[in-house]
Amino acid sequence: MPFEALAEDLLKGGVAPRHVRRYVRELDEHLDDLTAQQRAAGYDGEDAAIRARARLGDDAELVRAMLEQPGLRSWPARLPWLVFLLLPPVLTAAVGLALYAAAYFIGDRAARIHAVLPLPESGMVGFSVAAMAAINVLAVPVMAAVLAVLARRQRLKPKWPLLGIALLLLATPMLSSRFGHGHHGSLGLNYGLVIPGRWPVVMHYWQLMLSHLLALLPAAWLIGRKRAA
Amino acid sequence: MASETAFTAGLPELLVLRLLRDREMYGYEIVQAVALRTGRVVAPGEGVVYPLLHALEKDGALKSRRKTVHGRSRVYYSLTARGEKRLSALAGDWTALHNAVAAVLAGNTHAV
């Protein structure tokens, strides 16, 4: 890839990946134009390429020009504590509440849904339990993966996403539900390692442990990439 | 662009905005136009025009679109309304500075 070293320096310097990608592509296209210009001026093959590259500017100059534009830095590079430490717990709380509200909304209208879509009650209950289990297990690992990818794209030190993932593990949201007869039931939302009062403890911890194990995969990936580098 | 001092800060931006007021251009075109229109007095290291273009676009002074012309796909930049205002302000500053320096060079003793 052309300008690979330059792209690495820019990412490590905190420039947003989308600006880096575009910069590299524009430099590549500019170099093509300069090379064609040198050929038209009578320089052949390698000579034209060397002269074109010199006119484009050396890597240090090209990197410096980009780093001098503070507005092109990414949020994870500018404010890593905000992106990796503050936002994840806030997002976790928000996601938990949003899912609770969605589950409540659906549960509240269960009778009407059943009237339109006459599925057997056991099927609806089974589907609800499975959907909640999937959300409980996957919400935090997905957020952990996002943190890991954000950090990796910006070549940040793994400490930021690892701390963020640790906070996510401490604040994992867990939805719980109990179904009674005649479309009656109850809904709960717990954060972290709290033992829910209205839910079988074994099921809660089974989902919590699986969620935590999956959330550790992005952390392991980050550590592996760091060691490989 | 050329290395900046306190006196030349804002010059690359002014030139780019002024050129793009006439028509949309891509980076290579802008650099060639700057060199041509300034008689090569301002001859920037060519690749460094892009950080300036990206920053101006982020500030809302420029907008860009990828366009294919004669089989070549490139990012074309054009001026926005905000860019027009910025150009007017910068041009005013530069005219004032130019007049002040000209007065000094002419040996005027009165304050400008």
Residue of A nearest to B28 (CA): A30
Question: Chain B contact for A26, CB < 8 A?
Answer: yes
DSSP one-letter string for B51-101 = HHHHHHHHTTSEEEEEEEETTEEEEEEEE-HHHHHHHHHHHHHHHHHHHHH
pLDDT at A166 > cutoff 50: yes
The yes-or-no verdict on residue A5 having pLDDT over 60 is yes
Shared-domain flag, residues A47 and A142: no
Total domain count, chain A: 2
Rounded to a whole number of angstroms, the distance from the CA of A20 to the nearest CA of chain B is 10
For residue A204, what are the domain limits?
Answer: 75-228
pLDDT at A28 (0 to 100):
94
**What range does the domain containing B98 cover?**
11-106
Interface pTM, i.e. ipTM = 0.83
- Inter-chain Cβ pairs, chain A and chain B, closer than 8 A: 64
Residue A159 shares a structural domain with residue A207: yes
Residue B45 lies in a domain: yes
For residues A151-170, average pLDDT: 91
Query: Is B9 strand, coil or helix?
Result: coil
Q: List chain B residues with CB under 8 Å of A68.
A: 51
B54 or B100, greater pLDDT: B54
Number of structural domains chain B divides into = 1
Q: A14 or A116: whose pLDDT is higher?
A: A14
> Do B47 and A56 count as a contact with CB atoms less than 8 A apart?
yes
**Is B75 in Cβ contact with A69 (below 8 Å)?**
no
Helix locations, A13-120, DSSP H: 17-40, 45-56, 59-67, 75-78, 80, 87-108, 110-116
Judged against a pLDDT cut of 60, whether residue A47 lies above it is answered with yes
Query: Would you call A165 an interface residue with chain B, using a CB distance cutoff of 8 Å?
Result: no
Q: Flag whether residue A57 sits within 8 Å of chain B, measured between CB atoms.
A: yes
Q: Which of A20, A40, A72 is the last residue of a domain?
A: A72
pTM of the model: 0.79
**Is A203 a residue whose pLDDT tops 80?**
no
The pLDDT value given to residue B2: 44
Instruction: State the nearest Cα–Cα gap between A66 and chain B, in angstroms.
Output: 5
Question: Cβ contacts (< 8 Å) between B54 and chain A: which residues?
Answer: 19, 22-23, 66, 69, 72
The average confidence (pLDDT) of chain A is 86
